[in-house]
Amino acid sequence: MNPIDRRKFLMQVAAGASALTLARFVGAEEAKPDLDPNDAYAMAMGFVTDTANADAEKFPKHSADQSCANCQLFQGPDGAEKGPCSFFGGRQVPATGWCRNFKPKNAA
Ligand code: SF4
């Protein structure tokens, strides 16, 4: 390989590595932190990490079969222990959780 070919080759390798690094950076989605049940907004929404602990007096429409796992806004895969909630900006909520914004998955 003559010096010019080698320089061209090295520049192409460097450009390729930069492109890969950029693609990895752009494609990376860091998981958001868990939603803190003591967060003021979470509390205002009645968020609990276990649907069994929802306040029945404040939320009379709550039922035990409602949980984050079967809410439209839960973005975790089926069977996941926790996943992002789009209502809370992608913060992680447990599949067993609940809040007053619960929307059943099969509702229109
Ligand atoms: S909006 Fe749905 S997924 Fe999010 S915390 Fe409330 S019940 Fe859970």
Q: What is the mean pLDDT of residues 58-64?
A: 97
* Backbone phi, psi, residue 5, to 5°: -60, -40
**30-54 mean pLDDT:** 97
Domain hosting 1: range is: 1-30
Nearest to 94 by CA among 41, 50, 43: 50
CA of 100, closest atom in ligand 1: 6
* pLDDT value at residue 21: 47
Q: Confidence band (pLDDT; 50, 70, 90) for 29? A: low
19 and 44 share a domain? no
Which two three-digit tokens encode residue 97? 């959780």
For residues 11 and 77, which has the higher predicted lDDT (pLDDT)? 77
Average pLDDT over residues 75-102: 98
Whether 11 and 38 map to the same domain: the answer is no
Q: Kindly state the percentage of the chain with pLDDT values over 90.
A: 69
Number of structural domains the chain divides into: 2
Indicate whether residue 62 lines ligand 1 (CB < 6 A).
Answer: no
Residues 6+ apart with CB under 8 A from 24: none
Q: How far is the CA of 15 from the centre of ligand 1 (A)?
A: 44
